Amino acid sequence: MNVSVRHVTKGFGATPVLKDISLEIRDRELFFLLGPSGCGKTTLLRLIAGFYQPEEGGVFFGDRPMNGVPPHQRNTGMVFQNYALWPHLTVAENVAYGLDVRRFSAAKKKQRVAETLGIVQMENLADRSPNQLSGGQQQRVALARALVIRPDVLLLDEPLSNLDAKLRLEMREEIRRIHEQTRITTIYVTHDQKESLSLADRLAVLHDGVVEQVGEPRAVYGAPANRFVADFIGETNWLPGDVETASAEGARLRTEFGRLLAEGKPGLAPGQAVWIGFRPEAARIGTDEVNVLRCRINRVTYLGEIEEYELALSATATIKAFEQNPLAIRRPGAELAVHVRPQNLFVMPR
C-alpha cells in the first residue's frame, strides 16, 4: 500500500506543527520520519493513523482519501513506544485483541495468533503475562498485536526508545527481519540517526514542521541538502570560506587555513561566502596533494575501534577527526596533518 501525504498543514491552537508537508511513501517500503523533538514527526504519524485530522491537505492510502476516515477503518497497525499491553491478559490474548474486535471465529483467531507469534519468535511464551517478559519481548508482543490484523500500513512510534542499548541493536535486526518477511508498508518515527541509517529504505528529515530532505540513507548522509541535515545526521566540521572559482569540474575555495578544492557544486559563484563542511571520518591522517589541514592535537579519545581527535587549526577553530584501528599512539600537543578528498566536502551558502 503506498501512502501519499499531500500539502498537509496541522496546528494546535496558534502553534503550527506541520507546514504544507508532502511525501510519497512507496508500497512495501520501510520509511522513516526522522527529526528532533518537536519537529512534527509524531503528529504526522498520528495524522496518517487517523487520530488527528489535517487543517489543509490530505492523506491517501493508494487512491483512497483518508480525511475523515476513523482510525479503526484504515486497517493500520500501530506500535507505541510504551508498548500499551494489557497487564491482565496473556501474550496470546494481547495479540488476539484486534481479532476479537473484528469478531474472528475462535479457530481462525487461534491460527492467526500462532502464525503471528511465530513471525516475532514468541510462540513459546504465548501463555505468559506481560510482566513476566523483558522489554525486548514486550516490544515483540506489541509488534505481533499490530501485525496480527494484517494491516495495509504499519506505524511505529519510537518503538525502541525504552530499551537499553544492547536490546535496541537486537530489536533493530528483528524489525528488519520482520519487515523483509511481511513486506508491509511501514512508517517508523525516530530521533535516532543510527536507527534510520541502518534500517530505512528511505527517510525524511523533518525540522520545525517542514521536510528538509527525502532520500535513501546513504544519499542523505553523503549529500545533505543543508546545514541542518548535515548536523542532525552525524557530525560535521564547518569552516568559513569564500569561493575563488566555480565550474562544473570543481570549486576552489579560500579559507584562513589554506585553499581547498571541492567537486563541482551547482549554484556557486566567485566571491560567494560559504560554509565548508566535512565529516570527522572523512578527515584522513597525513598529507596529500590537495585539501591538507595542519593542526595540533587538543584531545585524544580512545573508543576501541576508533581514536577520536580534537584538532586545533588556530586558537579559536577546532575540527574533529576519526582514525579507525589506530596503530600509532598520538598525544595532545603533537602536530598532525589531515586531508579531505574533494568529493567529501559539503559547500553551502552562509
C-alpha cell at 253: 575555495
Same domain, 169 and 28: yes
What is the predicted pLDDT for the residue at 325? 83
Among residues 208, 231, 254, the one where a domain terminates is: 231
pLDDT, mean of residues 114-122: 91
Q: State the pLDDT confidence band at 342, using cuts at 50, 70 and 90.
A: very high
What local confidence, expressed as pLDDT, does residue 263 receive? Answer: 92
Q: What is the pTM of this model?
A: 0.91
Same domain assignment for residues 142 and 156? yes
- Write down which residue in 174, 197, 231 finishes a domain: 231
CATH code of residue 256: 2.40.50.140
The confidence score (pLDDT) of residue 128 equals: 93
Which whole number is the average pLDDT over 269-273?
A: 94
Do 57 and 153 belong to one domain?
Answer: yes
pLDDT digit string, tens, across residues 204-239: 999 999 999 999 999 999 999 999 999 999 999 999
- Other CB atoms within 10 Å distance of the CB of residue 47: 24
Q: How far apart are CA 302 and CA 334, in angstroms?
A: 16
Is there a single domain that holds both residue 214 and residue 314? no
Domain boundary among 201, 216, 231: 231
- Indicate the average pLDDT of the chain: 93
**Which triple of cell numbers denotes residue 239?**
569552516
CATH number at residue 107: 3.40.50.300
Residue 269's CB is within 10 A of a number of other CB atoms, namely 11
For residues 163 and 302, state if they share a domain.
no
Q: Quote the pLDDT of residue 249.
A: 86
- Which residues form the domain of 17? 3-231
b (16+ CB within 10 A) / e for 159-187:
bbeebeeebbeebbebbeebbeebebbbb
Angle at 76 between CA 72 and CA 77, to 5 degrees: 105
Q: Does residue 210 sit in the same domain as residue 241?
A: no
The C-alpha cell 510504551 sits at 82
Q: What is the pLDDT of residue 193?
A: 92
DSSP letter (8 states) at residue 38 = T
- Note the pLDDT tens digit of each residue in 286-308: 999 999 999 999 999 988 889 99
| pLDDT band at residue 30 under the 50/70/90 scheme | very high
113 secondary structure, DSSP code: H
Strands (E), 171-268: 185-190, 202-207, 210-215, 237-246, 250-255, 258-263
CA-based nearest residue to 286, from 341, 238, 344: 341
In this prediction, residue 167 carries a pLDDT of 84
202 and 304 in a common domain = no
Q: Based on the structure, what is the number of domains in the chain?
A: 2
Q: How confident is the model at residue 135 (pLDDT cuts 50, 70, 90)?
A: confident
Write the pLDDT tens digit of every residue in 45-87. 999 999 999 999 999 999 999 999 999 999 999 998 887 888 9
Instruction: Based on the fold, state whether residues 222 and 272 are members of the same structural domain.
Output: no
509488534: which residue's cell?
A: 143
Q: Residue 29 to residues 145, 148, 207, 211: CA-CA distances in angstroms?
A: 20, 19, 22, 18
pLDDT at 239: 97
